[in-house]
Chain A
Amino acid sequence: MKKFLVISGPNLNLLGTRKISIYKEGTLEEIHAKLRQKAIELGVEVDCRQFNSEGDIIDCMQQVPGTYAGVILNAGALAHYSYALRSAIGTMLVPCVEVFISNVHAREEFRHTSVLADVCVGVIAGFGGNSYVLALEALVNLVNP
């Protein structure tokens, strides 16, 4: 069974507890539960991880080759400036989809640029926790067309 990795970056452990007007979803654990449910429907597996430290995300990404068929990445604020994550995406050798819970384009200007978007297959932003679910559908469609 194909396995996909879901990585959430800094501050996403606080989902459901801060700025609820922007991040209207429930908790990250609720999003992970939705993803696991969708994975069962699609006949795949998901592993869900969250890290606040950039280096921990890189360590996690380096474990991807040979284990996972694709990665869903919500890098949080790191999306806008982490060239280290950008390089790490290149080392994974599998498709990566960038997701955001909020519509980053409707927010501060510094959030309009992602240094990761052009090394990802595609981007899904603005649909709350459903951004992750749509990304899983996108990845499964990509690897099992």
Chain B
Amino acid sequence: MGSAHIAVIHGPNLNMLGKREIGIYGGKTLDQINEEIRLEARVHDVDVDFFQSNVEGFIVDYIHGCAGRIQGIVINAGAYTHYSIALRDAIAAVRIPTIEVHISNIYKREPFRHVSFIAPVCKGQICGFGSYSYILGVRALLDVLAEEWLA
């Protein structure tokens, strides 16, 4: 697992974490969350790249750029989760094992958030555990990668 290189992608408005709707998303900033993820990756001896964009097309570009370079992705696509067919196609196109995460329990929220367009092309979904959803996402991803490498 020492050679694994993974990417954590944050979608729109997640740069505002810790600054908006703290009741839903918690008080940690994105930098603080990324630092927690970095520490978790270090425990597993894995390299991690971070990317955040508010622009759907930039996220698509970034996912394409992961091909051949990144072994696995953890993505919180934010609101794009619920309607971006372009993100779904990008994930399907690069065929990199991808884990969908959400800070909040999307099923406790508005009905339009109960549907994920990216879930069918992801390995699985983790939601509701605050910033710890990302930590669980990294662990889930490494387990998926270990299984694929054994197969």
Chain A residues at the B interface, C-beta cutoff of 8 Å: 97, 103, 105-106, 112-114, 117-118, 120-128, 130-131, 134, 137-138, 141-142
Contacts and interface: CB of A to CB of B under 8 A. Distances in A.
A131 B107 contact: no
B125 A134 contact: no
A135 B55 CA distance: 32
A121 B105 contact: yes
A130 B119 contact: no
Contacts of A103: 119-120, 122-125
Contact of B125 (A105, A128, A141, A142): A105
B133 A122 contact: yes
Name the residue in B105, B116, B120, B128 with the highest tally of chain A Cβ atoms < 10 Å from its Cβ.
B128
Given A124-B136, A125-B125, A141-B129, A105 B116 contact: yes
A127 B124 contact: yes
A142 B42 CA distance: 22
Contacts of A130: 140, 143
Nearest to B120: A106
Interface residues on B, range: 20 to 34
Given A125-B125, A126-B125, A141-B132, A105 B119 contact: yes
B127 interface: yes
A112 B143 contact: no
B115 A112 contact: yes
Interface string B128-149: 1100110010011001100100
Contacts of B143: 127, 130
